[in-house]
Amino acid sequence: MERDRAGLETALALFADLEARAFSLQARGIATSALMIAASALLREESRGGHYRTDFPHENPALARRSMMTLTMARALAASLGARAA
């Protein structure tokens, strides 16, 4: 799987929309999980293991640490992308 900023931003916006319009608790949970994964992938500006970004093709040793993403942070990131597109 190859990722890049544009694709991750598109995915993040789509998952935020799906989460907001979810028709069931299960669908909302799936959309929320996808939102968190896409937001985390967007913020990691390197390739590591199977997580390959075409715009950042190499590992960055300085980023070899744990990171944290909250749902509030993921939703804020998605909202900021929506505001930029408008």
The answer to whether the Cα torsion of 22, 20, 70, 83 is positive or negative is positive
Collect all residues with Cβ–Cβ distance below 8 Å to 83 and sequence separation of at least 6.
Answer: none
**Segments forming the whole domain that contains residue 37:** 2-85
pLDDT, greater one: 60 or 42: 42
Whichever domain contains 18, its CATH number is 1.20.58.100
Domain count of the chain?
A: 1
Spatial CA neighbour of 77 closest among 44, 29, 28: 44
CA-CA distance, 17 to 35, in Å (whole number)?
10
Instruction: Give this prediction's pTM.
Output: 0.83
Place of tokens 């990691």: 44
Check residue 84 and give its pLDDT: 62
pLDDT in tens, 8-55: 999 999 999 999 999 999 999 999 999 999 998 898 888 887 888 889
Place of tokens 């993403």: 69
Check residue 62 and give its pLDDT: 81
Which pair of structure tokens corresponds to residue 4? Answer: 């890049």
